[in-house]
Amino acid sequence: MDINLAHFNTDIGRQKPENIIHSSAACPFCATDELTNIIATDGDIILLKNKYNVIEEADQFVLIEGRDCDADIPSYTSDHMHRLIAFGMEHWAQMRASGKYDTVLFFKNYGPYSGGTIRHPHMQLVGFPTFRQELAFHRAEFEGLTVDERDGVVLNLSTQPRVGFWELNIVPADAGATETIADYIQISVDFFMNAFRRPLTSYNIFFYNEGTDIFIKIMPRFATSPVFIGYNIRLLPSNLAEMRDRMRAKYFESKRCTE
Ligand SMILES: [Zn+2]
């Protein structure tokens, strides 16, 4: 079968807390004293086993991004952002090198359309002992119109999106350039959440690897196009170059002029 099929345990899924829609529900990630199975910490950044391992084939982990329940990537200090991405990518690399998994997913859900259930900013690592990585993505999905390039890291807007519309890609020549990667992730999320005429509520960040090559995709989320869901048609927006110019003007060109 040419798909990766995983089994979702609905008994565990039912027990999972949800506080994006039900915003008055208590936040389990604020109660740091009650967290169990902690693997590593860096200040208030915490990696732990996911209490609700809903995917039966996989080992699931949660990376709590900090103590502030209402914060998110656009408001982080650049020091916190750098530490978060260095910590996350380091543990992602360690899990990939552990020999336990064919593939380790590393991603973030934010907002009601992202598929997330807890508001408190966090990322997830999911290790699959058996997985056909060639079915997960194509390298062409990370080609695009270059927005900026620094330290061998390219930030671009997808010309062959995975799903459709505006997808930002970060393609580092060297996975060690974590500060530039972190800066580009922060800019990408800020752009999606704050620079659109109609503000977006939701996004995903997906990390991919093919051997030691790393690819990152930041995807705005809204109700997904029916022609994609039904027929796999990916929609390329006609204003892609305009979006690239807007991003350059907002984050890169004015900065260069004042330097
Ligand atoms: Zn919280």
Digit-coded pLDDT (tens) for 193-231: 998 878 899 999 999 999 999 999 999 999 999 999 999
Ligand 1 centroid distance, CA of 124 (Å): 16
Q: Which helix (H) or strand (E) holds 108?
A: strand 103-110
10 burial type by CB count under 10 A (0-12 exposed, 13-18 middle, 19+ buried)? exposed
Q: Is 120 found in the same domain as 7? A: yes
| CATH code at position 212 | 3.30.428.10
141 belongs to a structural domain: no
Inform me whether the pLDDT recorded for 258 exceeds 80.
no
Ligand 1 centroid distance, CA of 85 (Å): 20
Q: Give the model confidence (pLDDT) of 136-192 as tens digits.
A: 999 999 999 999 999 999 999 999 999 999 999 999 999 999 999 999 999 999 999
Q: Give the model confidence (pLDDT) of 20-56 as tens digits.
A: 888 888 899 999 999 999 999 999 999 999 999 999 9
Neighbours of ion ligand 1 (CB under 5 A): 27, 29-30, 69, 120
Question: What integer pLDDT is reported at residue 24 of this predicted model?
Answer: 81
Picking from 110, 140, 48, 123, the residue whose alpha carbon sits closest to that of residue 81 is 123
Q: Is 85 found in the same domain as 3? A: yes
Ligand 1 centroid distance, CA of 50 (Å): 15
36 belongs to a structural domain: yes
The residue-averaged pLDDT of 64-72 equals 97
What is the extent of the structural domain holding 88? 1-136
Ligand 1 centroid distance, CA of 241 (Å): 38
